[in-house]
Amino acid sequence: MLKFKYLLLAGIFCVSGLISHAQEKITLDEAIEIALSESNTIKIADMTIEKTGYAKKGAYSALYPNISAAGNYQRTLKKQVMVMEMGGQSMSIEVGTDNNVSAGITAAMPLINAQLWQSLKLSALDVELAIEQARSSKISLVSQVKQSFYAVLLAKEAYNVYKEVYDNAQKNFEDVEKKYNVGKASEFDYLRAKVNVNNAEPEVFSAENAVVLAIWQLKAIMGIDLNTELDVEGALSDYVNEVVAVVQETDTISFENNTNLLQLRLQDEMLTNTIKMTKFQYIPTLSASFAYNYNAMGNTFDMSWNPYSVVALSLNVPIFSGFSKRNSIRQYQKSQDILRLSIEDTERNLNIALGNYIDKMNTSVKRYTAAESTLEMAQKSYNISEKMYEVGKATLVELNDAQLALTQAQLTMSQAIFQYMTNKAAIDELMGVEYISEK
């Protein structure tokens, strides 16, 4: 899959260098695929999983014997002198040898250590939490890409509307100018038509800049170079079929896969295991050890090596540690109480957010339905006004009013679809819906 994503990225952007400066168009699915492979957020999340996996393996290493080899050489510079009384006379005897050499292998491993076994469960939960955090990053990124992609489509449609307004204003001005030059139009109509052109022009520039900024935002979220030539494919009208009249009720939507709740519940489980691990510190531990060594001593290096080996069991019974364990347990229990209150607050906030999104979606459906019925009438009204103005039966003001009504209806429809789709993407994020590639 990763190889395919890089091939997709190479095919779209011509990684080795763009042959031409023509903008490459990408679909929403392609934008998501590229973001999931190129975004630093996802790379960091994947590295975190890998790092936590290594930590888990490191924790399991405590179950294996700890084997080490050691060697030691000592050269005696001044031997120790022992004084002894023998027959009423004092005698001094030098003790030790010039050379002392030792080498050996030691091994130790735990046999009974409940605290250690419980810590392994914590390590496994650390990995689960890292995986869930990575899933959260992907879900959030997909939602951001969708909303940014829809924002580009909205900006482009707004640009097309304002461009159409400008073109119509320019066309009307040219017609009025011709009539004015032959005395068939008043100076007021001429000036009004010119003002309309001047007013429409900055709107076109502003809409064009909005498209550029929206595409920059999309590229930033995707994690690609902002200088990359890029455009999006499609239009908001492609999503009309998703603007349904009846929006799902809040009580039918589950937060079972909500990543924030899952992370909090994993943290709660980790605190439960931490409390158990702390309680297990009251349990005695038993460990085994083994040592095999060679020693050699002598005043020259012509020494004989003498082996010796031992096997030992070590039992550690905790008796009293100044109430540190009890206080630690109480501290973790309070942390768990705080966390569970946070879980309750999170569930309430999720329901509030869900209700807000659904209300906005319902409003978008109503706005779209109203704008859809208005658009046809506004278009027809503008066409009639344009014809009437051409034959002198309508004023320029009436034509401008018809143009304004048409513009508002067009923008309202696009904004209704945009708001519906962005809120739908936000609900998918709340529900923890994962992106499934169609490739």
- Give the CATH number, domain containing residue 368: 1.20.1600.10
Q: Of 317, 337, 368, which residue constitutes the final position of a domain?
A: 317
Measured between its terminal Cα atoms, the distance across the chain in Å is 9
pLDDT at 374: 84
Say if 13 falls within a structural domain: no
How far is it, in rounded angstroms, from Cα 140 to Cα 123?
26
Statement to judge: residues 80 and 125 lie in one domain: no
Say if 4 falls within a structural domain: no
How far is it, in rounded angstroms, from Cα 295 to Cα 307?
6
The pTM of the full predicted model, rounded to 2 decimals, is 0.78
- Per-residue confidence band for 69, with pLDDT thresholds at 50, 70 and 90: very high
Q: Of 317, 339, 373, which residue constitutes the final position of a domain?
A: 317
Say if 383 falls within a structural domain: yes
pLDDT of 245 over the 70 cut: no
**Per-residue pLDDT tens over the stretch 411-434:** 888 899 999 999 999 999 999 988
Total tally of structural domains belonging to the chain: 2
Cα 419 to chain centroid distance, Å, stands at: 23
Closest by CA to 24, choosing from 437, 400, 34, 172, is 34
Statement to judge: residues 86 and 132 lie in one domain: no
pLDDT at 173: 84
Instruction: Say if CB 226 and CB 216 are below 8 A apart.
Output: yes
Statement to judge: residues 276 and 247 lie in one domain: yes
Say if 118 falls within a structural domain: yes
Statement to judge: residues 226 and 78 lie in one domain: no
H or E segment to which residue 105 belongs: strand 99-112
Say if 119 falls within a structural domain: yes
* Residue range of the domain that includes 96: 67-111+286-317
Statement to judge: residues 276 and 385 lie in one domain: yes
pLDDT of 145 over the 90 cut: yes
Say if 163 falls within a structural domain: yes
Say if 84 falls within a structural domain: yes
Q: What is the mean pLDDT of the chain?
A: 84
Say if 11 falls within a structural domain: no
Closest by CA to 96, choosing from 82, 114, 85, 112, is 82
Q: Of 275, 301, 317, which residue constitutes the final position of a domain?
A: 317
Statement to judge: residues 349 and 223 lie in one domain: yes
Give me the residue label for tokens 């890029």.
Answer: 230
Statement to judge: residues 53 and 40 lie in one domain: yes
Mean pLDDT of 280-305: 89
Statement to judge: residues 30 and 98 lie in one domain: no
Identity of the amino acid at 291: A
pLDDT at 25: 86
Statement to judge: residues 103 and 151 lie in one domain: no
Tokens linked to 326: 């009890």
Statement to judge: residues 305 and 327 lie in one domain: no
pLDDT at 263: 94
Statement to judge: residues 206 and 303 lie in one domain: no
Statement to judge: residues 426 and 333 lie in one domain: yes
Closest by CA to 48, choosing from 122, 132, 119, is 132
- Per-residue confidence band for 312, with pLDDT thresholds at 50, 70 and 90: very high
